[in-house]
Structure 1
């Protein structure tokens, strides 16, 4: 059997427990193609093996909600629960926008609903001019739109952290106190 057949066999057995239905759903290849590659009946191309590895190790970003209207005077948690339905406990990135749809805050979450709720109820750390009589005190008073994204996860990389850092470095939202930083990728120390 060719090395690439061995690699396909390993990937499907290791990451899908040999379940060709699951492997087919993720990769888009038919069960017959996958079976033929695993058994050595046919030989996969190098790009095929790389594509399957890419599908396994690089998560796909999914839009949960984009520019969803937020009512600042309404109950916060029920609104967020409705927006994030099905993704409340997922990792992700969320963004708050003002009435002009300007990005004002970006955050990452390991549990989207809880951490977004916490962030939107924090104080507004911006100093307003002295002439402003009633400046908003909490973030939920200035937020009019919310976006949220499932950016996937991996056992090796904290994708939400890296995506958040990149967005912060590019956009510098007014309510974020820190801009992100990008880490260099280093191999694990225990590997030789």
Structure 2
């Protein structure tokens, strides 16, 4: 059997649990083409194997909601359940915005509903100019909009963590700890 047929069979077994329908759905290839690769009657070309690998390992981002408005007078958990309908226990990224749509917090979650609710109920200290006493408030008192994205997890990759880290380094939301900066990837020559 040709090496690429063996690779296709391995990918079907390891990542699709021998389910040709699922592999066809994820990759877009027909079930008959996949069956031909598996039985060795047709050899998939190199680009086909590369595409299947990319389909397996490239994260799938699904927009759950962008700029979902949070109403201060309504129960937070009820609003979050409505916002996350169907995605409550999924992993992903969420972002909090103030009333002027400024990004104030970014977080990753293995369970979007629980972790977003927890993050909204943490204290945040508002820093006032010198001479005025700082005030602690709960985040949900400052947050007016939430965006959330369902991000598929893989066994060996934590894409939500990497996406969160990149956004933190670029945008520096005021409610997140400051974790550093992105240095230039090149050296400047004079």
TM-score (norm 1): 0.87
Q: CA deviation at 1:157?
A: 1.3
Give SS of 2:143's match. Answer: coil
Structure 2 unpaired stretches of 5+: 183-190
State how many pairs are aligned. Answer: 182
Structure 1 unpaired stretches of 5+: 183-192
Residue 166 of structure 1 contacts residue 181 of structure 1 at CA under 8 Å; is this kept in 2? no
**2:16 equivalent to 1:16:** yes
Q: How does 1:1-150 map to 2 (within 5 A)?
A: 1-129=1-129, 137-150=137-150
Residue 169 of structure 2 contacts residue 181 of structure 2 at CA under 8 Å; is this kept in 1? yes
Residue 125 of structure 2 contacts residue 135 of structure 2 at CA under 8 Å; is this kept in 1? no
Residue 170 of structure 2 contacts residue 181 of structure 2 at CA under 8 Å; is this kept in 1? no
Q: CA deviation at 1:39?
A: 1.4
| Cα deviation 1:66-102 (Å, max 9, x = unaligned) | 1111112210111011101111111111000011111
Query: Structure 1: which 4+ aligned runs deviate by more than 3 Å?
Result: 129-136
Over aligned residues, Cα RMSD in angstroms?
2.1
Whole-angstrom distance in 2 between the partners of 1:47 and 1:89: 35
Give SS of 1:54's match. Answer: helix
Whole-angstrom distance in 2 between the partners of 1:26 and 1:110: 22
Give SS of 2:125's match. Answer: coil
Larger % of strand: which? 2
Q: CA deviation at 1:56?
A: 1.4
Residue 89 of structure 1 contacts residue 111 of structure 1 at CA under 8 Å; is this kept in 2? yes
Whole-angstrom distance in 2 between the partners of 1:180 and 1:108: 18
Give SS of 1:137's match. Answer: strand
- Higher deviation after alignment, 120-129 or 2-11: 120-129
Whole-angstrom distance in 1 between the partners of 2:173 and 2:102: 9
Whole-angstrom distance in 2 between the partners of 1:67 and 1:12: 38
**CA distance change for structure 1 residues 132 and 73 in 2, over 3 Å: closer, same or farther?**
farther
Q: CA deviation at 1:171?
A: 0.3
